[in-house]
Amino acid sequence: MAYRRDPISVPFDSKAAELIRRAYGVKGSWAGDFLSPPGPRARAWAASIGIDLYERDRWGELRYIRAYKRSVFWVLNKYGGVTGLRPQINTGAFSGGWRAPVRGQWETGVRVERPEWQTFRWAVRLRLHPSGRLTSEFGHAQALRLGNNWIGRDKEPNFRQSTPDDREY
C-alpha cells in the first residue's frame, strides 16, 4: 500500500510549522500551543469523507489532536533542518529523501479554559532533540523505564506502533 497522508492532518500544516518554529527558537525546551476543537465546517467536511473528528484511536487520542500531531511530525521530517525549517523538502538517499536532523518529542496536555476563549482548547507541546545514536539510546531507555516503548526489546514494533491497519485513509 502506497503511503498517503491523513487527510485530516493536511489543514494543520501551517499551524504545525508555527509550533515547530517556536520549538527551534527555544532550543531544546518545550514550545507550547493550544488546539481548539473543530468547528462546524471542519466537522461537516470530515463527516463528508467518513471521519469522526471526536473518535478516539486505540491509544485514546482524539482524532483531530492526532491529526495535528501527524502534521507536526510530517512537516518536521520533510522540512526540518539543523537550525530551523528549510524552504525546500529534505531530499537525498533513495526516493524517500532524508529526514530532519532533529527529533521531535510531543506531549498532549489537558483541556484549558480561559475567559477570552469561546471554548476550551487542548494544551500540546513539542520539544526538539538532536538526532543520532545518543538521542535514540536515551529515548529508548526512557521509554522502557516508563513502559511506553513502541519498539520491543527484539527491535520489532509492538502493539503501540501504528500500522496501516489503524488507518482508514
Are residues 137 and 116 located together in one domain of the fold? no
Are residues 102 and 122 located together in one domain of the fold? yes
5 inside domain: no
> Which pLDDT band, with edges at 50, 70 and 90, does 94 fall under?
very low
How confident is the model at residue 39, as a pLDDT? 95
9-65 tens-digit pLDDT: 999 999 999 999 999 999 999 999 999 999 999 999 999 999 999 999 877 899 999
105 inside domain: yes
**CA 128 distance to own-chain centroid:** 12
Are residues 60 and 17 located together in one domain of the fold? yes
CA distance 37 to 50: 18
Higher pLDDT, 22 or 90: 22
> Which three three-digit cell numbers place residue 169?
485513509
Q: What is the 3-state secondary structure (H, E, C) of 20-70?
A: HHHHHHCCCCCEEEEECCCCHHHHHHHHHCCCCCCCECCCCCEHHHHHHHH
> Which pLDDT band, with edges at 50, 70 and 90, does 131 fall under?
confident
Are residues 31 and 104 located together in one domain of the fold? yes
Q: Which range marks the domain in which residue 169 is found?
A: 132-169
**Which amino acid, one-letter code, is at 7?**
P
How confident is the model at residue 26, as a pLDDT? 96
Mean pLDDT for all residues in the chain: 84
Q: Name the nearest CA neighbour of 46 among 12, 69, 3.
A: 12
Instruction: Report how many domains make up the chain.
Output: 2
Are residues 81 and 137 located together in one domain of the fold? no
Are residues 142 and 96 located together in one domain of the fold? no
152 inside domain: yes
49-83 tens-digit pLDDT: 999 999 998 778 999 999 999 999 999 989 998 89
CA distance 36 to 127: 20
**CA 19 distance to own-chain centroid:** 11
53 inside domain: yes
Lowest mean pLDDT among 44-53, 95-104, 132-141: 132-141
